[in-house]
Amino acid sequence: QVQLVQSGAEVKKPGASVKVSCEASGYSFTRYAIHWVRQAPGQRLEWMGWINTGDGRTKYSQKFQGRVTITRDSRASTAYIEVRRLTSEDTAVYFCARSRPTVTLFEYWGQGTLVTVSS
Amino acid sequence: DIQMTQSPSTLSASIGDRVTITCRASQSISGWLAWYQQKPGKAPKLLISEASSLESGVPSRFSGSGYGTEFTLTISSLQPDDFATYYCQQYNSYLYTFGQGTKLEIK
Protein backbone atom coordinates (compact mmCIF):
# COMPACT_ATOMS: atom_id res chain seq x y z
CA GLN A 1 0.00 0.00 0.00
CA VAL A 2 1.08 3.59 -0.57
CA GLN A 3 2.91 5.07 2.40
CA LEU A 4 4.67 8.36 2.99
CA VAL A 5 6.80 8.37 6.13
CA GLN A 6 8.25 11.63 7.34
CA SER A 7 11.17 12.39 9.62
CA GLY A 8 10.70 13.29 13.24
CA ALA A 9 9.90 16.50 15.07
CA GLU A 10 12.46 19.31 15.10
CA VAL A 11 13.15 22.24 17.39
CA LYS A 12 15.11 25.09 15.86
CA LYS A 13 16.24 28.55 16.84
CA PRO A 14 15.23 31.61 14.85
CA GLY A 15 17.49 32.11 11.85
CA ALA A 16 18.33 28.42 11.55
CA SER A 17 17.36 25.99 8.79
CA VAL A 18 15.44 22.74 8.90
CA LYS A 19 15.24 19.84 6.45
CA VAL A 20 12.35 17.39 6.59
CA SER A 21 12.28 14.11 4.68
CA CYS A 22 9.43 12.10 3.20
CA GLU A 23 10.10 8.49 2.23
CA ALA A 24 7.65 6.92 -0.18
CA SER A 25 6.84 3.26 -0.59
CA GLY A 26 4.24 1.08 -2.25
CA TYR A 27 4.34 2.72 -5.66
CA SER A 28 6.71 3.94 -8.35
CA PHE A 29 8.21 7.09 -6.79
CA THR A 30 9.03 8.88 -10.02
CA ARG A 31 5.51 8.63 -11.45
CA TYR A 32 3.81 10.98 -9.00
CA ALA A 33 4.60 14.48 -7.82
CA ILE A 34 5.22 15.20 -4.17
CA HIS A 35 3.85 18.37 -2.60
CA TRP A 36 4.53 20.03 0.73
CA VAL A 37 1.71 21.55 2.75
CA ARG A 38 2.04 23.11 6.17
CA GLN A 39 -0.39 23.86 8.98
CA ALA A 40 0.44 26.41 11.66
CA PRO A 41 -1.35 25.96 15.00
CA GLY A 42 -5.07 26.60 14.55
CA GLN A 43 -4.58 27.70 10.95
CA ARG A 44 -5.67 26.46 7.57
CA LEU A 45 -3.58 24.21 5.39
CA GLU A 46 -1.10 26.10 3.24
CA TRP A 47 0.45 24.75 0.05
CA MET A 48 4.19 25.46 -0.16
CA GLY A 49 5.45 23.84 -3.35
CA TRP A 50 5.94 20.66 -5.29
CA ILE A 51 8.52 18.57 -7.09
CA ASN A 52 8.26 16.54 -10.22
CA THR A 53 9.93 13.42 -8.87
CA GLY A 54 10.77 12.27 -12.38
CA ASP A 55 12.87 15.18 -13.57
CA GLY A 56 13.33 17.17 -10.38
CA ARG A 57 11.52 20.31 -11.57
CA THR A 58 10.04 22.34 -8.77
CA LYS A 59 7.50 25.10 -8.28
CA TYR A 60 6.96 27.12 -5.15
CA SER A 61 4.34 29.37 -3.68
CA GLN A 62 5.57 32.91 -4.12
CA LYS A 63 5.34 33.31 -0.37
CA PHE A 64 8.19 30.83 0.09
CA GLN A 65 10.22 31.48 -3.05
CA GLY A 66 13.88 31.91 -2.19
CA ARG A 67 13.55 30.54 1.33
CA VAL A 68 12.39 26.99 0.62
CA THR A 69 13.99 24.25 -1.48
CA ILE A 70 12.36 20.95 -2.38
CA THR A 71 14.57 18.13 -3.62
CA ARG A 72 14.34 14.42 -4.13
CA ASP A 73 16.55 11.34 -4.12
CA SER A 74 14.95 8.95 -6.59
CA ARG A 75 17.15 6.04 -5.56
CA ALA A 76 15.93 6.41 -1.99
CA SER A 77 12.34 7.25 -3.02
CA THR A 78 12.58 10.23 -0.73
CA ALA A 79 11.62 13.87 -1.06
CA TYR A 80 12.91 16.68 1.10
CA ILE A 81 11.96 20.20 2.00
CA GLU A 82 14.44 22.65 3.45
CA VAL A 83 13.25 25.89 5.02
CA ARG A 84 15.86 28.55 5.76
CA ARG A 85 15.91 31.68 7.93
CA LEU A 86 13.28 30.27 10.26
CA THR A 87 11.10 32.55 12.36
CA SER A 88 8.44 31.78 14.95
CA GLU A 89 5.85 32.05 12.17
CA ASP A 90 7.32 28.91 10.63
CA THR A 91 6.25 26.86 13.64
CA ALA A 92 3.88 24.37 12.04
CA VAL A 93 3.25 20.78 11.10
CA TYR A 94 4.76 20.10 7.68
CA PHE A 95 3.09 17.44 5.54
CA CYS A 96 4.24 15.82 2.34
CA ALA A 97 1.48 14.63 0.04
CA ARG A 98 1.26 12.73 -3.22
CA SER A 99 -0.94 14.17 -5.90
CA ARG A 100 -2.64 12.43 -8.78
CA PRO A 101 -0.88 12.44 -12.16
CA THR A 102 -3.02 15.12 -13.81
CA VAL A 103 -4.67 17.06 -11.02
CA THR A 104 -3.29 18.67 -7.90
CA LEU A 105 -5.34 17.12 -5.20
CA PHE A 106 -3.71 15.24 -2.40
CA GLU A 107 -4.49 11.58 -2.37
CA TYR A 108 -1.93 10.31 0.12
CA TRP A 109 -0.30 12.17 2.99
CA GLY A 110 2.65 11.71 5.29
CA GLN A 111 2.00 11.69 9.01
CA GLY A 112 3.31 15.22 9.43
CA THR A 113 6.44 16.66 11.05
CA LEU A 114 6.18 19.29 13.76
CA VAL A 115 8.77 22.02 13.41
CA THR A 116 9.00 24.34 16.40
CA VAL A 117 10.95 27.57 16.12
CA SER A 118 11.81 29.02 19.49
CA SER A 119 14.67 30.89 21.06
CA ASP B 1 -4.78 34.00 -5.72
CA ILE B 2 -8.12 32.28 -5.34
CA GLN B 3 -9.53 32.68 -1.84
CA MET B 4 -11.61 29.88 -0.37
CA THR B 5 -14.13 30.68 2.35
CA GLN B 6 -16.01 28.07 4.31
CA SER B 7 -19.12 28.47 6.43
CA PRO B 8 -19.80 27.93 9.16
CA SER B 9 -16.46 27.85 10.96
CA THR B 10 -17.94 25.67 13.69
CA LEU B 11 -20.97 23.45 13.52
CA SER B 12 -22.57 21.67 16.48
CA ALA B 13 -24.73 18.69 15.60
CA SER B 14 -26.03 15.41 16.97
CA ILE B 15 -25.69 11.83 15.85
CA GLY B 16 -28.10 11.19 13.01
CA ASP B 17 -28.34 14.84 11.94
CA ARG B 18 -27.99 15.95 8.35
CA VAL B 19 -25.38 18.68 8.03
CA THR B 20 -24.16 20.86 5.19
CA ILE B 21 -20.91 22.80 4.90
CA THR B 22 -20.48 25.50 2.29
CA CYS B 23 -17.31 26.52 0.47
CA ARG B 24 -17.13 29.61 -1.72
CA ALA B 25 -14.35 30.50 -4.14
CA SER B 26 -13.38 34.09 -4.92
CA GLN B 27 -13.55 33.28 -8.64
CA SER B 28 -14.77 30.39 -10.72
CA ILE B 29 -12.90 27.13 -10.26
CA SER B 30 -15.22 25.08 -12.47
CA GLY B 31 -15.57 21.75 -10.65
CA TRP B 32 -11.99 21.53 -9.43
CA LEU B 33 -12.74 21.22 -5.76
CA ALA B 34 -11.78 18.62 -3.18
CA TRP B 35 -13.00 18.00 0.36
CA TYR B 36 -10.83 16.60 3.15
CA GLN B 37 -11.51 15.40 6.66
CA GLN B 38 -8.91 15.98 9.36
CA LYS B 39 -8.87 14.63 12.89
CA PRO B 40 -6.65 16.07 15.64
CA GLY B 41 -3.00 15.16 15.23
CA LYS B 42 -3.62 13.41 11.91
CA ALA B 43 -3.10 14.19 8.25
CA PRO B 44 -6.08 15.19 6.14
CA LYS B 45 -7.99 12.45 4.36
CA LEU B 46 -9.36 12.97 0.86
CA LEU B 47 -13.14 12.46 0.78
CA ILE B 48 -14.38 13.99 -2.46
CA SER B 49 -12.76 15.13 -5.69
CA GLU B 50 -14.11 17.10 -8.66
CA ALA B 51 -16.73 18.57 -6.36
CA SER B 52 -18.91 15.47 -6.24
CA SER B 53 -16.88 12.29 -6.82
CA LEU B 54 -16.72 10.17 -3.70
CA GLU B 55 -13.35 8.59 -3.09
CA SER B 56 -13.09 4.83 -2.77
CA GLY B 57 -13.89 3.66 0.74
CA VAL B 58 -15.64 6.85 1.82
CA PRO B 59 -19.10 6.16 3.22
CA SER B 60 -22.03 7.05 0.99
CA ARG B 61 -23.49 9.36 3.64
CA PHE B 62 -20.96 11.91 2.37
CA SER B 63 -21.83 13.82 -0.78
CA GLY B 64 -20.62 16.91 -2.56
CA SER B 65 -22.12 19.28 -5.06
CA GLY B 66 -21.55 22.59 -6.74
CA TYR B 67 -19.81 24.28 -9.65
CA GLY B 68 -18.15 27.57 -10.32
CA THR B 69 -17.88 29.43 -7.04
CA GLU B 70 -20.24 27.71 -4.62
CA PHE B 71 -19.92 24.19 -3.28
CA THR B 72 -21.38 22.08 -0.52
CA LEU B 73 -20.42 19.02 1.47
CA THR B 74 -23.33 17.16 3.00
CA ILE B 75 -23.31 14.37 5.57
CA SER B 76 -26.73 12.75 5.46
CA SER B 77 -26.73 11.10 8.90
CA LEU B 78 -23.91 11.97 11.27
CA GLN B 79 -21.97 9.12 12.81
CA PRO B 80 -19.58 9.35 15.78
CA ASP B 81 -16.56 8.99 13.50
CA ASP B 82 -17.57 12.09 11.50
CA PHE B 83 -16.74 14.63 14.19
CA ALA B 84 -13.66 16.29 12.74
CA THR B 85 -12.57 19.37 10.82
CA TYR B 86 -13.41 19.59 7.13
CA TYR B 87 -11.46 21.57 4.53
CA CYS B 88 -12.19 22.41 0.92
CA GLN B 89 -9.34 22.87 -1.56
CA GLN B 90 -9.35 24.31 -5.05
CA TYR B 91 -7.09 22.85 -7.67
CA ASN B 92 -8.22 24.90 -10.63
CA SER B 93 -5.10 26.99 -10.66
CA TYR B 94 -1.63 27.28 -9.20
CA LEU B 95 -1.42 28.31 -5.63
CA TYR B 96 -3.65 25.52 -4.51
CA THR B 97 -5.62 27.02 -1.70
CA PHE B 98 -7.67 25.64 1.16
CA GLY B 99 -10.62 26.96 3.08
CA GLN B 100 -10.17 27.89 6.70
CA GLY B 101 -11.91 24.74 7.87
CA THR B 102 -15.22 23.81 9.48
CA LYS B 103 -15.02 22.10 12.85
CA LEU B 104 -17.89 19.68 13.34
CA GLU B 105 -18.60 19.23 17.04
CA ILE B 106 -20.93 17.02 19.02
CA LYS B 107 -23.92 18.93 20.38
Whether B75 and B59 have beta carbons less than 8 Å apart is answered as no
- How much is the average pLDDT of B52-80? 97
Residue (of A92, A75, A109, A26) closest to B42 by Cα position = A109
Peptide bond into B40 cis (omega under 30): no
- Is the confidence at residue B94, as pLDDT, over 90? no
**How does residue B42 score in pLDDT terms, banded at 50, 70 and 90?**
very high
Contact status of A32 with chain B (Cβ, < 8 Å): no
pLDDT band for B52, please (50, 70, 90 cuts).
very high
Contact (Cβ atoms closer than 8 angstroms) between residue A78 and residue A4: no
- Give the number of residues written for chain B: 107
pLDDT band at A101 (very low <50, low <70, confident <90, very high): confident
Give the pLDDT of residue B95. 85
User: Per-residue pLDDT for B20 more than 90?
Assistant: yes
Nearest Cβ partner for B46 among A44, A106, A111: A106
Cα distance between residue A64 and residue A37, in whole Å: 12
User: Looking at beta carbons, which residues of chain B come within 8 Å of A105?
Assistant: 34, 46, 49, 89, 91
Residues B87, B70 contacting (CB under 8 angstroms): no
Nearest by CB: A107 against B46, B94, B97: B46
Q: What is the mean pLDDT of chain B?
A: 96
What are the φ/ψ torsions at residue A76 (nearest 5 degrees)?
-100, 0
Residues B31 and B82 sit within 8 Å (Cβ to Cβ): no
Percent of chain A with pLDDT over 70: 100
Q: What is the pLDDT of residue B16?
A: 96
The average pLDDT across B70-98 equals 95
Test B100 with A44 for CB contact under 8 angstroms: yes
d(CA A16, CA A117): 9
Q: Chain A residues with CB inside 8 Å of B49's CB?
A: 103, 105
- The arithmetic mean of pLDDT across residues A22-28, rounded, is 97
The answer, for B89 touching chain A at a CB cutoff of 8 Å, is yes
Nearest CA in chain B to A63: B95
